[in-house]
Amino acid sequence: MDLRRIHHAAIICSDYEVSRRFYVDLLGLRVVAENHRVARRSHKLDLELPDGSRIELFSFPDPPVRPSWPEARGLRHLAFEVDDVPSAKAELEAQGIAVEPIRIDEHTGRRFTFFADPDGLPLELYESAPEGR
């Protein structure tokens, strides 16, 4: 097997329009495709980051709430790499998004912080590696 990278992560939201605005308008992900699946009473929105990695945003009628606290098994959070964590944090806060204080990864020395999408999915901003590493 020759795994190369993560192609996409799939997210199920409770309010399609709210989550669409969050990921597209606030975070700036590019819309690749958008489909309304009538038979499933569902939307599927394919989003892309500059490096080609993708997020599939789904809506389904009455999805169960995701357990977060205490932390549940499965995917813990989704992390986005940024060059400047304080600047990205300030951008989110200027849009009214609550962001945790910046911390330092004790293993890498890089800065990171967390915020949440409209359904409470934990999202992380993680500092890029310095050039040459």
Kindly state the tokens that stand for 9: 């992560």
What's the predicted TM-score (pTM) here?
Answer: 0.88
**What span, in angstroms and rounded, lies between the C-alpha atoms of 55 and 39?**
22
Which one has a higher pLDDT value, 46 or 39?
Answer: 46
69-124 pLDDT, tens per residue?
Answer: 677 788 889 999 999 999 999 999 999 999 999 999 999 999 999 999 999 999 99
**What span, in angstroms and rounded, lies between the C-alpha atoms of 20 and 82?**
21
Range of the domain at 101: 76-133
Does 81 map to a domain? Answer: yes
3-39 pLDDT, tens per residue?
Answer: 788 899 999 999 999 999 999 999 999 999 999 999 8
Does 1 map to a domain? Answer: no
**What span, in angstroms and rounded, lies between the C-alpha atoms of 9 and 19?**
15
Whether pLDDT at 58 is above 70: yes
| Overall average pLDDT of the 53-81 stretch | 87
Does 67 map to a domain? Answer: no
Does 70 map to a domain? Answer: no
Q: In what order do the strands lie in the sheet with 54-59?
A: 8-13, 54-59, 42-48, 30-37
User: What pairing do the DSSP bridges indicate for beta strands 8-13 and 54-59?
Assistant: parallel
40 and 93 in a single domain? The answer is no
The total number of structural domains that make up the chain: 2
pLDDT at position 103 is 97
Whether pLDDT at 132 is above 60: no
If residue 89 lies in a helix (H) or strand (E), which one and from where to where?
helix 85-94
52 and 89 in a single domain? The answer is no
80 and 110 in a single domain? The answer is yes
Does 71 map to a domain? Answer: no
Does 24 map to a domain? Answer: yes
CA-angle at 29, arms to 122 and 40, nearest 5°: 75
44 and 83 in a single domain? The answer is no
Q: What is the CATH number of the domain that holds 105?
A: 3.10.180.10
48 and 80 in a single domain? The answer is no
pLDDT at position 4 is 82
Does 123 map to a domain? Answer: yes
Domain boundary among 62, 87, 106: 62
12 and 53 in a single domain? The answer is yes
